[in-house]
Structure 1
Amino acid sequence: MKRVIDFYRKHYKQKLFNKILTMYAIITIVSLATLSAFVYTYLNNSQVQKELDLNKQILAGVGSHLDIKHATSQQIIQQIYRDGPSASSALLSDVLSFLQNNFSDYLNKRLLQYSATGVRTPDINSFLRLLLANNPDIRTVALYSKDKKFLFTLTKDTQNYYYVDGDLQAVIGKYIATGKSYTTVSNINNMTTQESIGNLIIDYDSTAIYRTFQNKTDEMKGYIVVLTPAGDVIYDSSNRYYGKPYPYTSLLNNPSSIQRFEEESYINMQTTNKFGYWIVGVIPKSAINGNMKGLKNTLILVTVICIVAAITLTYFTIVNFSRRTKVIVQAMKKVQDGDLSVRIPREKEDELFQISSRFNQMCEDLTQYIDRVYKSEIREKHAELVAFQAQIKPHFLYNTLEAIRMRALSKKADDVGEMIYILATLFRYSVKSETIVKLSDEIEYCRLYLDLFRIRLLQKFTYEINIEPEWMSIPILKLSIQPIIENYIIHGLNMSQSDNHLTISAEWDGRDLQLVISDNGNGIEPLRLMQLRSSLEQHPPQASNSIGLINVNERLKICFGSSYGLQMNSEAGKGTDITVKIPAGQGGQQFA
């Protein structure tokens, strides 16, 4: 028992793929076995129904045959009466004469009649012989006289005249119905007195029933019997029950379609014929099952092959997944032991491929993080920010002083003092040690800078700032907007026009804030625009004439991440739009 428990824990409880294989095998076996059983049951039921339908057709044919023979007997008796209702009708008169006289007296009367008239009238003997010749299924035709107690029988080969005594049915059983036949008995009445004077008895050969389904014997299963309600056998296609009562008559009163006769059998029965006979079709289940045995064996073989194929294919598939999973587990164990150089080979592009890719990427990232101490990385980034700002400050100071100098040389005015005041304010902001400031501080700095140039250019330059007050508290990188404005003043401002205009606006997409600096200046040529965009996408940045834009873009990416920075759109002669994308939530607080 302990070995069984150990085997269960080792090979099943702790093995996911063994569980999957076991469950799949169970599902496959149950599903295919159920499907095969359903198919076999369906085909077996279809075969049973087919045989029962064929059997019903045969029974209907036998019933029609019996009805035709019954109708034939009625037509024969009608032919006797056809000449009219009077007793003087020729054939009817001859029949009455035959039944009401001894045979010798009957012959004498006919001879006297022929001598007197010279006309040969129809006689019953000729009529009956013609009847036998035209109806091969009639074995014997007979006339029975109630008054004279005789029986005249006629076959194709013989003619007999018997004096009888006793019940008519006993007479028929003794002299006419001697086996494998069935009879019809019709009254012959005196048309004047309406009294019965005798009977016309026609005995049909029951073996002729075989012809009704002869062309279906190859398809037919079981046998057909025709019985009287008392159980006497009229016809038996199996030739086993002639001359004795049918032994299963009592079971025929049970309406069940399956009965235990010689063996368990399907039963069809028809009783609607004019004779009132029971026409029974018996189909042993073994006869149908014998045909289905080959199909059953084939279904079992196909099912076993499908089960083996499905489980084999699943096994090799799961073994492949198990092997790949084992490689991943072993790699994880190596990482757990401190080996970050391990890499998982990637095969098919599936979930395990994605796990392997993520695992490899995780190892690479861990290696990089371990190679760089977290604090050292922060200091390095902070130093980069200070270095970028140091590049901007001298450049900005030079341009500002040059503007004041040019204004002082061109025109001596009182507004020089205001410009110097603005300049001093700008210097105070620029020398602050903070790296991250509020958006309101950066916008105020840009406004002072723009006022400085508005005073210088008088009526040739205007600006507009459209930013919602609730966004003013969002953190932003210091000196991230001013270099863009400066780039416009230097390269985009068109001194030949008097409507130079700059707009600073903001848009929030629910996650990030986009500051848009738009102007109607000179714009950028397509080739130059493509070069600038390429420079902004490179990391680390390469040397370029647009130091201010590239530095701002790189500082934003260092501070906020690679998905943030600058985007440029421009059309030569119409102006430029530069978008500064920053996170509205985090705001670079890790560097504050």
Structure 2
Amino acid sequence: MHKKKSKQLYYKIFFTYTAILVFTVGVLMVYFISSNKARIFETNLDYMKMLSEEAVSYMEECSNDVGYIKGDLYQLPVISEDLLNYLRYDEETYQVKRLEKYIASTTLKYNGFESFIIKNMETYSNILQIDLISYLRLESTSCYSDGIKNRTTLPKNKIDQIRDGDLAGRGRFSFLKELRDPDTMESVGCMIVIFKADVFDKLQNYYSKAELAVYNMEGTAVYNSLDDYSEKEVINLEKDNEYSIKKTVKDYVIYTFIDKNQARQLPMSLLLTIFGVGVTMVIIGEMCINIYLQKLTGRLNYILDGMNKITTGDLSVRLEVDNNGDELDLISKNFNDMCVKLDRYIQRSYLAEIEQKNAELEALQDQINPHFLYNTLESIRMKAICNGDKDVAKMLYSMAVIFRSQLKESDVITVIQEIHYCKKYLELFEFRYQGKFTSTVICPEEYMNYPIIKFILQPVIENYFVHGIRGESEGNEICILVESDEDALIINVIDNGRGMSDEEIEAKNKELMENKRETKKSIGLINVNGRLKAVYGEEYGVLLKSSDSGGMHIILRVGMGEENGNEKSNVN
């Protein structure tokens, strides 16, 4: 009998298993790279959308401010008449009429348009200057926060340019309001309110993954994060190479865009990590395969040696059965039986049955499509816009964003997404407590993309509006500050509300430390604390303190370690 080389089967199985292992690891690497590209792409598109929303919101706010200034002007007949006289007459005649008004009045101080203009510029800090244009006298007066300059004569073509609406310039944009005589409705002149564009630079730096460009309808650039791009080139990028959003506010066009290649580009560190993990898996797998095959071929060689002894007529050969419960043990046992009954058996076949696992049936649960409700809110919002009720439309939009955040499949989102949803939540209360409530969010960029479980911040803010806000008084403030402490991400929520006594805070912290669960389906502090501890560990959760302003300082401690990162990926 020819004795086969003991390594033949080893090499066949080894190379087969190696090919399967490499193929499997390769598929997993491709899957992780693809899924991370999709995640980064979605995050970058979210940045672009947020940048567009913030830029549009700022432009609309400035436009509304101009409307408020004009409305306040006509509500004060003395001031509006003084301004119209200033636009109609020369300086000497204007001063005479002003003196006559003062003599006829009973007040000790004459209230002219200058104090009104300066007061509004102090109120609206984003105003750069206000220009008063007289159509009758072809004159312009520039007003600044520190005073009003003298009149200057304008060329005729300048008036035409003003009426055509080309009022923008690099780093500044304007809104024009006609000034009419309330008795005759004659257009005496106009008021041009010029705003600073540096807010766009702050927004673009905050959402640095996307680019921002603002132009007026005449093609004049107000702001462009890519200074070497003209409006035509930006439009071409929108059509050919970019993911972009184009929105129009009054006489201005706002572009936000992001390069296609950069939108899906993975960081080199992440690629190296995926490649390193893949190589490590192959090496460990090869070591396991080698150990397994060494043991397997050793047992096979032992059986082959016994068979070779049988060919010499040695029927006393008995193989040891290792009781591993596999086919090789069965062969050894049957080989021993064959030696005992060799005179009766010439050939024997060994059959092995392979049992099939029963497939598990998953129960299907009927679900109501929650997107129907979201689409209904969106339809109501569009109806409000059509009716001219922008405040209601903005409130509905904020509510729709909050509702949409509850419909996402994944319970793991980024810090910036959680903050974005909370900002929309805060906007609803800013409508409710107009002039009485302000909010501040401070989140360094290095923490924006950190993954956390969703819906841990909104219940804390809601707790403030239920128990802490002083609705009868002004000056209510709440601040959200994100920072880190060693292996933990710290989210601070600080307010100047009613607060709690030291005894109440101590009792509440003890309850949070013990992690007592409520029987009701609540989303309060105890449940947020329980979720944090369940996902990240007992050393994380919620802590209460008194703030320096007398309100509450609530600290959310979230894990940042590698182990916690693995736990977060398994959240359902």
Q: TM-score, normalised on structure 1? A: 0.52
Q: Is the 8 A contact 2:175 2:194 kept in 1?
A: yes
Alpha-carbon distance in 2 for matches of 1:357, 1:135: 94
Q: Is the 8 A contact 1:224 1:280 kept in 2?
A: yes
SS of aligned partner of 1:343:
coil
CA apart distance, 1:162: 1.1
Aligned match of 1:73: 66
Matched, 1:251 2:244: no
SS of aligned partner of 1:191:
coil
Q: Residue deviations 1:108-148, cap 9 Å, x none?
A: 22123323446455322221111222222111101111111
Aligned match of 1:30: 23
Go from structure 1 to structure 2 and tell me whether the alpha carbon gap of 1:229 and 1:252 turns closer, same or farther (over 3 Å shift): farther
Match of 1:352 among 328, 350, 368: 328
Correspondence 1:88-487 to 2 at 5 A? 89-117=77-105, 119=107, 120-157=109-146, 159-165=149-155, 166-168=157-159, 170=161, 179-211=170-202, 217=206, 220-237=208-225, 240-241=227-228, 245-246=230-231, 248-254=233-239, 260=241, 267-282=243-258, 285-286=261-262, 289=265, 292-349=267-324, 350-366=326-342
SS of aligned partner of 2:321:
coil
Alpha-carbon distance in 2 for matches of 1:163, 1:203: 19
Alpha-carbon distance in 2 for matches of 1:199, 1:345: 106
Letter paired with 2:97 = K
- Larger helix share, 1 or 2: 1
Alpha-carbon distance in 1 for matches of 2:127, 2:153: 23
Go from structure 1 to structure 2 and tell me whether the alpha carbon gap of 1:289 and 1:233 turns closer, same or farther (over 3 Å shift): same
Letter paired with 2:221 = V
CA apart distance, 1:207: 0.5
Aligned match of 1:18: 11
Go from structure 1 to structure 2 and tell me whether the alpha carbon gap of 1:154 and 1:172 turns closer, same or farther (over 3 Å shift): farther
Go from structure 1 to structure 2 and tell me whether the alpha carbon gap of 1:188 and 1:103 turns closer, same or farther (over 3 Å shift): same
Alpha-carbon distance in 1 for matches of 2:100, 2:289: 106
SS of aligned partner of 1:182:
strand
Alpha-carbon distance in 2 for matches of 1:369, 1:60: 86
Alpha-carbon distance in 2 for matches of 1:121, 1:368: 131
CA apart distance, 1:270: 4.1
Q: Is the 8 A contact 1:141 1:203 kept in 2?
A: yes
Alpha-carbon distance in 2 for matches of 1:160, 1:178: 23
Match of 2:53 among 60, 72, 75: 60
RMSD: 3.3
CA apart distance, 1:220: 3.4
Q: Residue deviations 1:20-44, cap 9 Å, x none?
A: 3222211211111111211122122
Aligned match of 1:439: none
Go from structure 1 to structure 2 and tell me whether the alpha carbon gap of 1:169 and 1:183 turns closer, same or farther (over 3 Å shift): farther
CA apart distance, 1:172: 9.6
Give % identity: 21
CA apart distance, 1:282: 3.1
Go from structure 1 to structure 2 and tell me whether the alpha carbon gap of 1:173 and 1:369 turns closer, same or farther (over 3 Å shift): closer
Letter paired with 1:129 = I
CA apart distance, 1:82: 2.0
Go from structure 1 to structure 2 and tell me whether the alpha carbon gap of 1:175 and 1:15 turns closer, same or farther (over 3 Å shift): closer
Go from structure 1 to structure 2 and tell me whether the alpha carbon gap of 1:316 and 1:212 turns closer, same or farther (over 3 Å shift): closer
Q: Is the 8 A contact 2:47 2:209 kept in 1?
A: no
SS of aligned partner of 2:140:
strand
Letter paired with 2:230 = P
Letter paired with 2:114 = N
Letter paired with 2:244 = N
Alpha-carbon distance in 2 for matches of 1:282, 1:104: 57
Alpha-carbon distance in 2 for matches of 1:73, 1:227: 19
SS of aligned partner of 1:220:
coil
Letter paired with 1:352 = L
Go from structure 1 to structure 2 and tell me whether the alpha carbon gap of 1:157 and 1:301 turns closer, same or farther (over 3 Å shift): same
CA apart distance, 1:175: 12
Go from structure 1 to structure 2 and tell me whether the alpha carbon gap of 1:279 and 1:287 turns closer, same or farther (over 3 Å shift): closer
Q: Is the 8 A contact 2:38 2:264 kept in 1?
A: no
Q: Residue deviations 1:354-402, cap 9 Å, x none?
A: 11111122113338999xxxxxxxxxxxxxxxxxxxxxxxxxxxxxxxx
Q: Is the 8 A contact 2:204 2:225 kept in 1?
A: no
Alpha-carbon distance in 2 for matches of 1:369, 1:127: 117
SS of aligned partner of 1:354:
helix
SS of aligned partner of 1:193:
coil
Alpha-carbon distance in 1 for matches of 2:333, 2:62: 91
Q: Is the 8 A contact 1:55 1:281 kept in 2?
A: yes
Q: TM-score, normalised on structure 2? A: 0.53
Go from structure 1 to structure 2 and tell me whether the alpha carbon gap of 1:225 and 1:176 turns closer, same or farther (over 3 Å shift): closer
Letter paired with 2:152 = Y
CA apart distance, 1:53: 1.1
Alpha-carbon distance in 2 for matches of 1:170, 1:323: 94
Matched, 1:46 2:39: yes
CA apart distance, 1:222: 4.1
Letter paired with 2:41 = V
Letter paired with 2:66 = S
Letter paired with 1:197 = V
Which stretches in structure 2 are left out of the alignment for 5+ residues? 347-572
Alpha-carbon distance in 2 for matches of 1:110, 1:209: 41
CA apart distance, 1:272: 4.6
Bigger radius of gyration, 1 or 2? 1
